[in-house]
Amino acid sequence: MTDQARADQAPAAAQPLDLEFVVHLYPDPVLRRRAREVPIDDETRAVVKAMFTRMVKSDGCGLAAPQVGLDRRILVLNPTGKPEDDLALVNPTIKERKGGDTLMDEGCLSFPRMYAEIKRPERCVVEYLDLDGVKHEREFDGFVARIIQHEYDHLEGVLLVDRMTPVDKSRNRAGLEALVDKWKRTQGR
Ligand SMILES: [Zn+2]
C-alpha cells in the first residue's frame, strides 16, 4: 500500500495538520468560536512555529490561533520585530486588568487595511503556559499589554468590529461590507 492510499483511507481527524496557514478574514465563523485549551505537545509547538511564520509574512505583531482556522487557545506576538522578543502564550487567562484606560489605533490581520481607536486598560496580568509546559504569571504593560488583550479577544470570539465606536464603525462600513460580500462569494463556490 502506498502512503497516498493510506492517507486516502484515513479518517479526516487523522490527517496531519496543514501548517501552511492562511489568515481567515471577517466574517468567517471560525473567528467567532470560543477557542479550546490545548496540550503542550509536538503539535502545539509546530502550530506556534507556523503561526510565527504566518505573522511575520503578514507584517503582524500578534496572531491568535482562530485567525489561522484553529479553535485553540494559542497566541503569538512580537512587539518589536526582534526575534528575541517572540512570545507565545498557550492556554492564557487574563487574571486582572489594571491601570487607566488608554486609547490606541488597532489593526487586525482579519480586517485588512482597517483601523479603529480602541479603549483598553494599560496593564494586564496573564497566566499562561510556555512551550515546555511551565506555568507563568506575568504582568504586561504598554504595547505588549495592548497586543495581548487584542489577541486574547480572538480566543473568546470577540473581534475588532465589536469594540469599534459607532464613528469608527461607520467610517469602516464600506470595508466591512466588502469583506462580507467577499466571504459570501467564496461560500457560493
Ligand atoms: Zn486581530
Give the domains, in start order, of the chain with CATH numbers: 20-188 (3.90.45.10)
Nearest CA among 115, 112, 105, 106 for reference residue 183: 112
Pairwise CA distance, residues 118 & 107, whole Å: 10
Average pLDDT over residues 159-166: 96
Kindly tell me if the per-residue pLDDT of 8 is higher than 60.
no
Angle at 142 between CA 140 and CA 145, to 5 degrees: 45
Over residues 60-82, the mean pLDDT reads 97
* CA separation for the pair 145, 55 (Å, rounded): 18
Please give the distance, rounded to the nearest whole angstrom, from the Cα atom of residue 84 to the centre of ligand 1. Answer: 22
Rounded distance from Cα 136 to ligand 1 centre (Å): 23
pLDDT class of 189 with cuts at 50, 70, 90: low
Q: Cα 113 vs. chain centroid, distance in angstroms?
A: 17
- CA 39 / ligand 1 centre spacing (Å): 23
Confidence check: pLDDT of 65 > 60: yes
20, 43, 122, 151: the catalytic one is: 151
Active site residue 84: no
CA of 112 to the centre of ligand 1 (A): 10
Q: How far is the CA of 5 from the centre of ligand 1 (A)?
A: 39
Supply the pLDDT for residue 108.
98
Q: What is the pTM of this model?
A: 0.91
Using a CB cutoff of 5 Å, list residues around ligand 1, an ion.
Answer: 108
